[in-house]
Structure 1
Amino acid sequence: MKNPAWRMLPIVVFAVAMIGALAFNIALVSRSRSALASTILRNPATVRTARFHIAAIIPDAVDPFYGHLVEGLREEADRQNAALQVFYYSASAIGEGSNPSEEVWRWFEIALRSKTDGIILFQSKGMETSRFAAEAESAAMPFVPLAMDAPAQWTRSGVSGDSFSQGKEASSLVLGLLGSAARIGIILSADTSQGYAQAEEPFYRGVVEMIKNRPGAAIVAAVREEESILGGEDACARMLSSHPDINAILCIDAKATIGAAQVIIDRGIVGQVVIIGSDENSEVNRLIEKGVVHASIVRDAAAMGRSAVALAVGQRIGIRKPERISVGYHVKPERGTTP
């Protein structure tokens, strides 16, 4: 009969090998950490230490507007020596009664508990922000809401676009081309959460303001695009089917612009209908270059981002008070130039 001790020998050898391997791995990790620490200590110039921590909560949407917005946030954060943390919420993250969903609140509470130096929140889909503002004020934390257009409930601080001026600019371009013969169709946003009736939409009112002193020119139709990816295309097709005399289409965003252009191409009437679009991305730029879209009114989303970070940091260090800021736009291509 074999000695039981010999039976245990393979087990002992295997255990010793495992312990040795584990010890070797621990040593490697320790050496790696030590090397990293010593590198940082030897080269402090390579380590960027931010003075401020800013949190931004914005929609996770395909609209190029939001991409440019984040670019502006990051640009100004770098200028202000701030670390920017961006949280994305789904485009449908609004609960019942225009209250933000748990998703939005979760990001806000994380930013609040992290004791950031400012919270930036893009207000969309009818989001009510008064509670956010109250919570931030209680924590003595700057809070800067953003929106396409300033909601009525903004009383202290916020950065917004100016769809009214955008509508005026778009109609001005059309009147410059068609004059009193302009028969205008307008594609408005699917978002009705701000409570605007169609005739109260800032973009629509801007068009009305511009053409009221041009006898003969008229708004023939205005429709809302749907939420779907083909929403702009469907809206344009419906409008032209009901009003074939339309010779100019004004679009509220990039989706409407691309959709309207596709309808014009499909119907073979490029050059017969003037399209004034909004915002920009590679597809809108291509349509301008091809002459399908005459021009695009590009909302300055990057300026909105820069203004928001600058305002948050300024409040944190006490050199600025809460204020309402309206950013502008630019026309692409610029007036007097060709695509």
Structure 2
Amino acid sequence: MANPLPLPSRASLAGASISDAVAALAAQRQAWRATQPEARGQAAFPSLGAIERVVTLLSEALYPRRLGQLRGSPAEEDRFVAARITAAFAELEREIAHELAYWQAESQARFDPDQPATIVRLFAAQLGDIRRLVDSDIAAAFVGDPAARSTDEILLCYPGAIASLHHRLAHPLHDLGAPIVARLISELANARTGIDIHPGATIGERFFIDHGTGVVIGETAIIGDRVRLYQHVTLGARTPLGLASDGPRTRFARHPIVGDDVVIYAGATILGRVTIGTGATIGGNVWLLSDVPAGAVVTQPEAHVLPAGAAHALRDELAGA
């Protein structure tokens, strides 16, 4: 009887599999890069890990005793904050430089070499206001949620407060000309909380998202002061840009405007450049495509309650259908 052919070793099988995978990935990379601007592939790109470190450092600088876990005197607190800001700004400037180099790779324009430092300097001037806005959001949550035992609990535990803090950091960077860095900050919040706020959205003081999972707020949304949202609220665009008329309203102003003192309950979907007037209330699971006047209440039709006998008859009828 002839000897059977020797089986390949596990090592040779693994080597062949790896070689095939490397070749397949190389082919796919080339196919993708053929569709992209040539220079862009060689440019640096902001790092999600680096931006996460920046957010951690800035959060600790904003709240040194709660998020930074500092124990010490006020003088030590100032030194702690200075060290965190120094480290954060050095890394932030590098990541902004990567972003500008990425855009510059496909553009004839050239950014000033000092542009990353200028953006960081202008951002630094807003840190006090960022802390004030986050404080106002936490205060609104404490007033709005009777389950909250302290403002510290809200800062550390509430998804809405965590998402608000990230947005308060991301929004000025977006406006100062670092939209990718800002978007990475917003996506860190999205991954942690399930709340997706585009950094371009404009949000007033005392903003409270209760529970929060599934909330989506689009780039051109404008939200006034003392607004409260519940879980699964969408402030979105009505039509994808590729299917919409290419006018300024659909391109640059495609998300809702929400006035002061508005409450939007769970599951509401509000699409397009509609205006929700001051003091309005939007009920749960409402689908809304038109303006709402100030003080109005928008609800779905109320559920119809059947007496027990009628309920049994309806169930029997449905079962026989």
Provide the TM-score with structure 2 as the length reference: 0.30
- Structure number with higher relative contact order (C-alpha < 8 Å, ≥ 6 residues apart): 1
Provide the TM-score with structure 1 as the length reference: 0.29
Question: As a proportion of its length, which structure holds more strand?
Answer: 1
